[in-house]
Amino acid sequence: MSADEQVAVSVWARPPRRRRDRLALDRGQIVAEAIGLLDERGLPALTMRALATRMNVAANALYWHVASKEELIELVVDEIYGEMSPPVSDDPARWSEAVSRCGHSARDVVLRHPWVASLLVGEVGVTHLGPNLMLLTDHMLTLLRAAGFDLAEADRATKTVFTYVLGAATSEAAALNRIALAGDTEAEWLDALRPALTQITGPYPQLAALFDSLTGTDPRTTRDEQFDYGLQRVLDGLHVRLRQLAERPS
């Protein structure tokens, strides 16, 4: 191992090794197979040995490109960020619509890969150095600066939006993942829980009324509406802040 590799704190701090021949693996193949394994079996199933078995290669073939499981997870997380649609708009005045589309895209990606929830809220590697996340962030900063935020405000606004989006989406994905592991659909799980919820919420009139109002509704629609409500309120706050900045004496 070279001195550069010994001091590297992240997979992004060193370049990928070149393939030794045209049949050899590369990082892209490894990451794609790792995501496939995670989608099928979840985070506990991901080991370098299991991945090597899945790919029908020796474990050493993986370590040539990825030094550890931690590095692999950094690569996987950034690949997931790459599935999210960046916020772009030709009209700076419609910046919040672009941010909203990006937020919904990010949520869709997290729900498509529910195992990623724990990785996005955990501290695994230096994931913020990944090129896909940096590109996503740079698009957001560009959009918000064009709308009228200065760079510092755009950075804070970006962090605020992603804190809400990823926090809400990862909580939602974690709950859905637990339901799926139990072998139930969301509707089946709610039906089984309904008698207990009716009894538990009885002493609390507002909660009982709320639970009653949701009975018979489509749980996915309810979750969609709840997510969008929160995102739009975050954007409402940023609109107010933008007006404050515009009215502030120079």
CA-nearest of 97, 78, 76, 66 to 135 is 78
pLDDT of residue 105: 97
Percent of the chain with pLDDT over 90: 62
Q: What is the pLDDT of residues 89-110, one digit of tens each?
A: 999 999 999 999 999 999 999 9
Residues with Cβ within 8 Å of 155's Cβ and at least 6 positions away in sequence, in order, are 141
Q: Give the type of residue at 5.
A: E
Indicate whether 243 and 135 sit together in one domain. yes
Q: Using CA atoms, how far apart are residues 159 and 141, in angstroms rounded to an integer?
A: 10
Can you give the residue range of the structural domain that contains 220?
81-247
Q: What is the pLDDT of residues 195-246, one digit of tens each?
A: 998 999 999 999 999 999 988 889 999 999 999 999 999 999 999 999 999 9
Q: Using CA atoms, how far apart are residues 150 and 103, in angstroms rounded to an integer?
A: 21
Q: At which of 76, 111, 138 does a domain end?
A: 76
Residues with Cβ within 8 Å of 19's Cβ and at least 6 positions away in sequence, in order, are 25, 26
Indicate whether 189 and 230 sit together in one domain. yes
Strands (E), the chain: none
pLDDT of residue 110: 94
Which CATH number fits the domain that encloses residue 215? 1.10.357.10
Q: What is the pTM of this model?
A: 0.85
CB 140 within 8 A of CB 235: no
Q: What is the pLDDT of residues 19-71, one digit of tens each?
A: 554 446 888 999 999 999 999 998 999 999 999 999 999 988 899 889 899 99
pLDDT at 146 over 70: yes
Q: Using CA atoms, how far apart are residues 179 and 171, in angstroms rounded to an integer?
A: 13
Q: At which of 59, 76, 93 does a domain end?
A: 76
CB 220 within 8 A of CB 186: yes
pLDDT of residue 6: 45
Total structural domains in the chain? 2
Q: Give the type of residue at 73.
A: I
